[in-house]
């Protein structure tokens, strides 16, 4: 399969787990939380209950760390049958504050890739989650100057992307999205006739997992690392020059 990227003018990047580490911090936090709950339930059960509660709470709390903390507190009260200590509740709140203070750890090659692509394309960030937390990470990342626009959305469904492209006056056919989540960064774009390249992160939150698409329906490419983007788009530009 060959996909043609020659007419791409704008490239959108997901942020968490595409530009920098994120899911790892959530996994570490879940591990700490299951240790705090060890007196009441197995780690496995704690994980399951927390995941279920996060999904149930999405309409109230949305994505992001604050909702995650609140869900942990709810589950601690419930799994302990209202007998968990105040110290444990305090420890849960601290897990959250530690997450909000984490340094921003860029993934391999991010600086190089953005630097190179920013010379030929308009780059934007499309990220979901907590507005303040995403702004904090973007500032800490040192990457802000590469981007023409930052959009923090409350969800990444087709309608969110269509609205954004419309607002920024970008034609779907000229837009390429790069991200680690098939569900949030890839499939909605394919459905609105934009393009997308999948860069899986080693860990994916269950909520972001989807059934892999069938081979005959394969309308996007998958790469191992952001640095693979450069030859793909370069090759593409060379082809264009040859024609």
Tokens representing 19 are 């530009």
Residues contacting a second copy: total by CB under 8 A:
34
Q: Which stretch binds a second copy (CB under 8 A): 27-35, 103-111, 116-124, 127-135?
A: 127-135
59 in helix, strand or coil?
Answer: helix
**Angstrom distance (rounded) from CA 234 to CA 239:** 9
97 lies in the binding site for a second copy (CB under 8 A): yes
Please name the residue that has the structure tokens 């149930």: 56
Q: What size, in residues, is the chain?
A: 243
Q: Which stretch binds a second copy (CB under 8 A): 48-56, 68-76, 102-110, 218-226?
A: 68-76
16 lies in the binding site for a second copy (CB under 8 A): no
Shortest approach of a second copy to residue 94 CB, angstroms?
Answer: 10
158 lies in the binding site for a second copy (CB under 8 A): no
**Angstrom distance (rounded) from CA 54 to CA 66:** 11
Q: Which is nearer to a second copy, 110 or 188 (CB)?
A: 188
Q: What is the largest CA-CA distance in the chain?
A: 72
Q: Which is nearer to a second copy, 77 or 192 (CB)?
A: 77
Shortest approach of a second copy to residue 238 CB, angstroms?
Answer: 35
Shortest approach of a second copy to residue 22 CB, angstroms?
Answer: 17
121 lies in the binding site for a second copy (CB under 8 A): no
Q: Which of 95, 152, 190, 229 binds a second copy (CB under 8 A)?
A: 152
* 192, 196, 199, 203 alpha-carbon torsion, rounded to 10°: 0
129 in helix, strand or coil?
Answer: coil
Tokens representing 131 are 């507005």
174 lies in the binding site for a second copy (CB under 8 A): no
Give the count of beta carbons closer than 10 Å to the beta carbon of residue 68.
22
Q: Which of 35, 167, 171, 235 binds a second copy (CB under 8 A)?
A: 167
100 lies in the binding site for a second copy (CB under 8 A): yes
* Nearest to 227, CA basis, from 58, 113, 137, 60: 113
Q: Which of 16, 17, 47, 130 binds a second copy (CB under 8 A)?
A: 130
């Amino acid at each position: 399969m060959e996909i043609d990227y020659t007419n791409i003018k704008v490239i959108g990047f997901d942020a968490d787990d595409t530009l920098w580490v994120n899911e790892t911090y959530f996994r570490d936090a879940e591990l700490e939380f299951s240790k705090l709950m060890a007196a009441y339930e197995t780690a496995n059960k704690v994980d399951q209950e927390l995941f279920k509660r996060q999904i149930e709470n999405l309409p109230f709390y949305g994505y992001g760390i604050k909702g995650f903390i609140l869900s942990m507190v709810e589950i601690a009260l419930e799994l302990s049958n209202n007998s968990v200590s105040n110290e444990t509740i305090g420890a849960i709140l601290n897990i959250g504050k530690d997450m909000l203070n984490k340094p921003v750890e860029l993934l391999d090659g991010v600086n190089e890739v953005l630097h190179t692509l920013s010379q030929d394309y308009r780059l934007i960030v499309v990220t979901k989650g907590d507005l303040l937390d995403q702004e904090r990470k973007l500032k800490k990342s040192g990457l802000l100057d590469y981007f023409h626009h930052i959009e923090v959305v409350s969800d990444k469904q087709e309608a969110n992307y269509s609205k954004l492209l419309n607002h920024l006056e970008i034609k779907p056919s000229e837009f390429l999205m790069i991200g680690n989540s098939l569900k949030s960064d890839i499939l909605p774009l394919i459905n609105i006739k934009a393009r997308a390249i999948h860069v899986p992160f080693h860990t994916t939150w269950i909520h972001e997992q989807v059934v892999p698409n069938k081979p005959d329906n394969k309308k996007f490419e998958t790469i191992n690392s952001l640095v693979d983007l450069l030859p793909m788009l370069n090759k593409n530009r060379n082809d264009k020059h040859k024609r």
